[in-house]
Amino acid sequence: MKIAVIVGTRPELIKMAVLIKELKKRDLNHLFIHSGQHYDYFMDGMVMELFELPKPDHHLSVGSGSHSETTAKIMVKIEELILKEKIDLVVVHGDTNTTLATSLAACKTAAKIAHVEAGLRSYDRSMPEETNRVLVDHLSNYLFCPTEGAVENLSKEGINTGIHLVGQSIVDAVTYISQGITPVILEKHSLHSDSYLFVTCHRQENTDCNLRLNGIMEALLHLATHTPYKVVFALHPRTKKILIINNFLARLSNHQNVLVLDPPPNFQETIHLQQHAKIVLTDSGGLQEESCILGTPCITLRENTERPETVDCGANTLAGYDTKKIIQIVETTLNSPTKWKHPYGSAGISAKILDIMTGGST
C-alpha cells in the first residue's frame, strides 16, 4: 500500500509532523506532499526545521489565491500525482482548502481517504473551514476523531463506519517539542510568567470584517492601558496586511504595554509563550487546544467553537468580538480557577493512527 500525507498550512504541518516522522521511521511506502498553500518561512520552513522533517517528495507551490482558485489548483495537481504515483491512501488533516482539495481529488480516483481530526463542528457555515470539515468527513474512509464529542457529531450526520477515537495529534507535537531546548523568547523580551496576555487573531471572519477586527483591537488597546498585563500579540501575515491599512498596527506597536511579535514566534516559542501567559486570547482552533493542554485559561475571540470540550472542562470562554464583552471576560477569567483535566488523550496518537491504517491494530 502506498500512503501519501498531504499538508499545506502551518497547523497541518504541526499536527502531522510526528506522523510523517513515524512513517519514515517505520520505512513504510509513502510520499510526503506539500501543497504550498502556506509559503512564508515562518509559516512553513520554520515548522519543517523545528520538527526536522524531510523535504517533501512533491511541492505543488500553489500559493495564495481565492478559496476556489487555491482549491482547484490543488485538486488538479493532486489528481495527477495520485494517478502517476499510484497512491492508494491519502492522509489529510483538519479543515483547510488543502484538506478539501485533496479529498475531492482522491474520491474521483480509486484512492482512499484518511481524515485526521475528523468530526469537529462549529455549526457556523460562515467559516470556510466548517464547510471543508463537513465535506471531507463525508468523503473519508478512515475518520480519526480526537474526542467522544467528535464521534457523536459524525453519528448525528449518519457517519458510523471507519470511525476511530484516537485523541488529538497536537498532544504528540507538544510532547515532541517540549523535549527540545527551552526557548529564550521570554528572556529576549523581558517577559515574566503570568505578567502578560498572549494574543493571536487570523480568522477570515475577524480579519475581513471591520466591525469585528476593530472590536478586538480596541479591547487589546484597553487591556494594555488599564491592566498591569502586557499584551503580547503574535502577528499572522493575513492580519498584518489589514492592520497596516486601518492603522491599528501603528497604534499597537507604539503602545508601551504592547509587544507585537512580527514575524510570529515559531511553534516551540508559541507553546512556551502560552504556557507562561496569564491568559491566551485567540481565534485559532489550535491555540484553544494547546492552552487547554498547557493549563492556561483561554478566551476565544469568536461566538462559537468546534472545540466545545475546552469550554466544558472550564479552560475556555467564548467572547466574540465586542470590546466590552472581551474586557469583562478577561476580568472574570483573572478571578477563576485554573485547574482542569484536558480531553485530548496522551502522546502516541500518531503511532496509533498508523497502526490502524496499516492493519496493525484497530
What secondary structure, in 3-state letters, does 104-124 show? HHHHCCCCEEEEECCCCCCCC
Cβ 285 to ligand UD1, closest distance in Å? 6
9 binds ligand UD1 (CB under 6 A): yes
Query: How far is the C-alpha of 37 from the C-alpha of 259, rounded, in Å?
Result: 28
266 binds ligand UD1 (CB under 6 A): no
| Short-list 328, 280, 284, 320, CA closest to 303 | 320
Q: Is residue 357 within 8 Å of residue 92, measured between CB atoms?
A: no
Cβ–Cβ contacts within 10 Å for residue 361, how many?
10
List 43, 107, 259, 299, residue binding ligand UD1 (CB under 6 A)? 43
Query: Closest CB to ligand UD1 among 136 and 224?
Result: 136
Stretch that binds ligand UD1, among 15-23, 95-103, 257-265, 315-323 (CB under 6 A): 95-103
List 15, 33, 37, 216, residue binding ligand UD1 (CB under 6 A)? 37
Long-range contacts of 209-215 (CB under 8 A, 24+ apart): 210/246, 211/321, 212/321, 213/242, 213/243, 213/246, 213/248, 213/321, 214/246, 214/248, 215/320, 215/321, 215/322, 215/323, 215/326
Query: How far is the C-alpha of 143 from the C-alpha of 160, rounded, in Å?
Result: 10
* Encoded amino acid at 181, one letter: I
* Encoded amino acid at 235, one letter: L
Query: Closest CB to ligand UD1 among 149 and 237?
Result: 237
| Short-list 4, 200, 161, CA closest to 93 | 4
Total residues at the site for ligand UD1 (CB under 6 A)?
A: 19
Query: Closest CB to ligand UD1 among 72 and 327?
Result: 72
Q: Which of the 8 DSSP states describes residue 183?
A: P
List 21, 238, 255, 325, residue binding ligand UD1 (CB under 6 A)? 238
List 129, 137, 289, 306, residue binding ligand UD1 (CB under 6 A)? 129
Query: How far is the C-alpha of 170 from the C-alpha of 166, rounded, in Å?
Result: 12
Query: How far is the C-alpha of 36 from the C-alpha of 60, rounded, in Å?
Result: 6
38 binds ligand UD1 (CB under 6 A): yes
10 binds ligand UD1 (CB under 6 A): yes
Query: How far is the C-alpha of 76 from the C-alpha of 35, rounded, in Å?
Result: 11
What 3-state DSSP class applies to 58?
strand
202 binds ligand UD1 (CB under 6 A): yes
Angle at alpha carbon of residue 16, lines to 78 and 169, rounded to 5°: 140
List 97, 282, 296, 305, residue binding ligand UD1 (CB under 6 A)? 97
Query: Closest CB to ligand UD1 among 9 and 147?
Result: 9
95 binds ligand UD1 (CB under 6 A): yes
Query: Closest CB to ligand UD1 among 64 and 338?
Result: 64
- For residue 239, what is its C-alpha cell? 492580519
270 binds ligand UD1 (CB under 6 A): no
96 binds ligand UD1 (CB under 6 A): yes
Query: How far is the C-alpha of 229 from the C-alpha of 226, rounded, in Å?
Result: 9
Considering only CA atoms, give the Rg of the chain. 20
149 binds ligand UD1 (CB under 6 A): no
56 binds ligand UD1 (CB under 6 A): no
Stretch that binds ligand UD1, among 48-56, 118-126, 237-245, 339-347 (CB under 6 A): 237-245
Annotation marks residue 93 as catalytic: no
Q: Which residue among 30, 93, 164, 202 is the active-site one?
A: 202
Stretch that binds ligand UD1, among 85-93, 94-102, 103-111, 268-276 (CB under 6 A): 94-102
Query: How far is the C-alpha of 309 from the C-alpha of 288, rounded, in Å?
Result: 10
Restricting to residues 241-260, which ones interact with ligand UD1 according to CB under 6 A? 241
Cβ 328 to ligand UD1, closest distance in Å? 27
Which residues are tagged catalytic?
A: 202
Q: Which residues here bind ligand UD1, judged by CB under 6 A?
A: 9-11, 37-40, 43, 64, 95-97, 128-129, 202, 204, 237-238, 241
